[in-house]
Amino acid sequence: MRDNEVVNVGLEPLSFADVVRVARHGAAVRLTEETVAAMARSRARVEELAAGATPAYGISTGFGALATRHIDPELRARLQRSLIRSHAAGSGPEVEAEVVRAMMLLRLRTLASGHTGVRPETAQVLAGLLSAGITPVVHEHGSLGCSGDLAPLSHVALALMGEGPVRDRDGEPRTAAEAMKQAGIEPVELAAKEGLALINGTDGMLGMLILALDDLTRLLRTADVSAAMSVEALLGTDRVFAPELQGLRPHPGQAASASNLRAVLRDSGIMESHRNDSCTRVQDAYSLRCAPQVAGAARDTVAHAAAVAARELVSAVDNPVVLDDGRVESNGNFHGAPVGYVLDFLAIAAADVASMAERRTDRMLDVARSHGLPAFLADDPGVDSGHMIAQYTQAAIVSEMKRLAVPASVDSIPSSAMQEDHVSMGWSAARKLRRAVDGLTSVLAVEVLTAARAIELRAPLRPAPATAAVVDALRQEVAGPGPDRFLAPEIASVTRLTADGAVLAAAESVTGPLA
């Protein structure tokens, strides 16, 4: 295995790119020597407390509302096993492998901080599962986003014990014991505090946040490309994107979005065709004119969320924690509010960007507002329906995204006999954001598909080189204007091109990297 295929997990912070490499691209992981030494130091302190007579939460006591019971030394190994088995109580569909791998990596990062008191050999087993491509089966429901993502992380910890179902590198279902034996990994017998340390973190919601940031960074640039294509197809004006106008309201995201629109529309023959007195329109509709303001605000939201995620990436989230001076202290750092809030905020931004894209699509299909395009971009309107129902699909997705934008983090439900009487619901916020990101991808794909057809229907007027490059990329996968045909596969193809960055790459092949 080459070094560039390995992500080192140590005392230095992981980058977002590291998380994506491990979660999405299967990179292996390696614990650094300094990390192993730090873990050994904190472990010695935990073992000292475990041998003492004074009760220490999570080491010699029960958990949650049962923390008042002191556990006899001969029962403590059973205590850890019981904790994991009872807390591995998730339900519902399987969580995506990339989410589970991100969660495993982020939990390993906290273990590697030396503040959890876990033995180095236990952390090495978790690293071994990641490197071997063994992914525990985790279920959709079970986390309230407080005291950590307890049920999801417990399903991971169960696999470390050699129990429960997993999927191998090929995605095939196996038992944990079988997969670990084949990979040469010995299951771990959990010692004092280790069960709690493996599950008491915000790693699931943080992992989903980092993956969403990766997606949204690409999708918001793609939204600028799709908006530019719609402006061009609708004979809109690019004068409103001028830097001197955008500079009057100096939001950084807005400036970046407007710059992208200018770059994508540069040298457009279609735009040039109506830069004269024959154009009587004073200004475009909001969905065209205000595209940088909305996409820019979404960008600034992503930047805020990234700042929160970066702080979480250098956090040691556990309870109790081992401090550098050897003290072991209880705390509330496992509460998911900081992450939950920005997860909800991103869902709001994604819904609004999608809503604006749908409005632009609708304008291209309406003969009363499309400035000379055929009704629904149909080949023979009346006989053909063109993209009529593609917009319905867009509208349905946008409506769902509006529902997904309702915050989860304002909800709370008491648990553990009122010991955990306020929870973040951050995991739920993360799950709905993933659906919102998928929705935004599909909505932008329909806009790109529709705008490409509209641009071609403007022939012989010449599109901008960047938008022409996008149209050419699409035409490698789907046909151009013509009589009605089975449209769902075309939407699926362009959705894939949008998701994997091919639409953006086509535009950037002309413009260079967009902001």
* Residues 163-220 pLDDT 10s: 999 999 999 999 999 999 999 999 999 998 999 899 999 999 999 999 999 999 999 9
Q: What is the pLDDT of residue 423?
A: 86
Domain boundary among 201, 231, 251: 201
Catalytic site includes residue 392: no
The one catalytic residue in 57, 286, 341, 392 is 57
- Residue 412's pLDDT band, with cuts at 50, 70 and 90, is confident
Q: Give the type of residue at 186.
A: E
- Residue 279's pLDDT band, with cuts at 50, 70 and 90, is low
Does 277 or 389 have the greater pLDDT score?
389
214-228: pLDDT as tens digits:
999 999 999 999 999
- Looking at the fold, whether 177 and 216 belong to one and the same domain comes out as no
State mean pLDDT over 316-337.
89
From residue 510, give the alpha-carbon distance in Å to each of 108, 131, 260, 483: 42, 39, 12, 31
- Looking at the fold, whether 276 and 411 belong to one and the same domain comes out as yes
What's the mean pLDDT when you consider all of the chain? 94
- Looking at the fold, whether 126 and 244 belong to one and the same domain comes out as no
Cβ burial, residue 172 (10 Å; 0-12/13-18/19+): exposed
d(CA 339, CA 429): 9
Domain boundary among 163, 180, 201: 201
- Residue 339's pLDDT band, with cuts at 50, 70 and 90, is very high
**For residue 27, what is the DSSP state?**
-
d(CA 426, CA 206): 9
State mean pLDDT over 382-404.
98
- Residue 44's pLDDT band, with cuts at 50, 70 and 90, is very high
Does 379 or 148 have the greater pLDDT score?
379
d(CA 346, CA 217): 11
Can you spell out the DSSP letters for 44-81? Answer: HHHHHHHHSSS--TTTTB--GGGTTSBPPGGGHHHHHH
Judge whether residue 54 has pLDDT over 80.
no
- Cβ atoms 514, 253 nearer than 8 A: no
- Looking at the fold, whether 70 and 129 belong to one and the same domain comes out as yes
Q: What is the pLDDT of residue 68?
A: 72
The tally of CA atoms less than 13 A away on the side-chain side of residue 74 is 0
Quick one: which of 436, 437, 441, 432 has its CA closest to 401? 436
Task: Using the CB atoms, write b or e for 373-389: b if 16+ within 10 Å.
Answer: bbbbbbbeeeebbbbbe
Token pair for residue 334?
């496992």
- Cβ atoms 413, 423 nearer than 8 A: yes
Token pair for residue 509?
């092949």
Q: Which of 67-76, 133-142, 171-180 has the lowest mean pLDDT?
A: 67-76
Q: Which of 42-46, 73-77, 193-197, 298-302 has the lowest mean pLDDT?
A: 73-77
- Looking at the fold, whether 479 and 346 belong to one and the same domain comes out as yes
Give the total number of structural domains in the chain: 2
From residue 493, give the alpha-carbon distance in Å to each of 170, 222, 392: 24, 16, 18
The CA radius of gyration of the chain, in Å to the nearest whole number, is: 26
- Looking at the fold, whether 143 and 217 belong to one and the same domain comes out as no
- Residue 4's pLDDT band, with cuts at 50, 70 and 90, is low
Q: Which SS3 state, helix, strand or coil, does residue 93 take?
A: strand
Judge whether residue 64 has pLDDT over 90.
no
74-85: pLDDT as tens digits:
777 788 899 999
- Looking at the fold, whether 73 and 151 belong to one and the same domain comes out as yes
Helices (H) and strands (E) in the chain, counts: 20, 9
Q: What is the pLDDT of residue 1?
A: 41
Judge whether residue 447 has pLDDT over 80.
yes
d(CA 150, CA 146): 8
- Looking at the fold, whether 298 and 384 belong to one and the same domain comes out as yes
- pLDDT > 70 fraction of the chain, expressed in percent and rounded: 98
Q: Which SS3 state, helix, strand or coil, does residue 321 take?
A: strand
Judge whether residue 268 has pLDDT over 90.
yes
- Looking at the fold, whether 214 and 182 belong to one and the same domain comes out as no
d(CA 390, CA 444): 12
Question: Residue 380's domain is classified under what CATH number?
Answer: 1.20.200.10
* φ and ψ of 495, to 5 deg: -60, -40
State mean pLDDT over 157-167.
98
From residue 104, give the alpha-carbon distance in Å to each of 130, 152, 319, 367: 7, 10, 18, 53
Q: Which of 44-48, 126-130, 500-504 has the lowest mean pLDDT?
A: 44-48
- Looking at the fold, whether 358 and 397 belong to one and the same domain comes out as yes
- Per the listing, tokens 């100096």 go with 250
- Looking at the fold, whether 439 and 406 belong to one and the same domain comes out as yes
Contacts 24+ apart (CB under 8 A), 335-338: 335/145, 335/146, 335/423, 335/424, 336/145, 336/146, 336/149, 336/202, 336/205, 336/423, 336/424, 336/425, 336/426, 336/427, 337/409, 337/424, 337/426, 338/308, 338/311, 338/312
Question: Residue 69's domain is classified under what CATH number?
Answer: 1.10.275.10
- Looking at the fold, whether 154 and 265 belong to one and the same domain comes out as no
Can you give the residue range of the structural domain that contains 344?
A: 208-322+329-511
Token pair for residue 403?
């529902």
358-384: pLDDT as tens digits:
999 999 999 999 999 999 999 999 999
Task: Write down the pTM of the prediction.
Answer: 0.95
Query: Backbone dihedral region of 54: left (phi > 0), alpha (psi from -120 to 50 degrees) or beta?
Result: beta
Q: What is the pLDDT of residue 280?
A: 62
Token pair for residue 3?
């070094």
Distance of CA 144 to the CA centre of its chain: 19
Domain boundary among 181, 201, 221: 201
State mean pLDDT over 340-364.
98
d(CA 199, CA 149): 7
Judge whether residue 418 has pLDDT over 80.
no
84-128: pLDDT as tens digits:
999 999 999 999 999 999 999 999 999 999 999 999 999 999 999
- Per the listing, tokens 């250098």 go with 314
Q: What is the pLDDT of residue 314?
A: 95
Judge whether residue 417 has pLDDT over 80.
no
Q: Which SS3 state, helix, strand or coil, does residue 480 take?
A: coil
